[in-house]
Amino acid sequence: MKMIIHDWADDQAVRILRSCRQAMREDSKLLLIEQLLPKRKLSGVQMFIDLTMMAMFGSKEHTATEFQALFAQAELELTRTIDLVNGYAIIEAKPRV
């Protein structure tokens, strides 16, 4: 999924991820393309996007740790992140067994 989870508040994002989990086999992988916020200070663009998402949708951009927590609630496990450009990343998850 590309830029879907950041559009939703965390409880709704977990519902989406749970639906994905229910459709997955044990050997499936879920791939998200999302902004991946750093643990340290945000760039001006990242801060602007995060504030815009919060103001418009009640949602937010996430760090890898926050994605890990969302995945855990949906019975998924974060397996890796692959940095792309401009703060975007491929975020990979598998079913938690």
Point out the residues that are catalytic. Answer: 6
Do the Cβ atoms of 86 and 12 come closer than 8 Å?
no
Rounded Cα distance, 86 and 70, in Å: 23
Residues with Cβ within 8 Å of 55's Cβ and at least 6 positions away in sequence, in order, are none
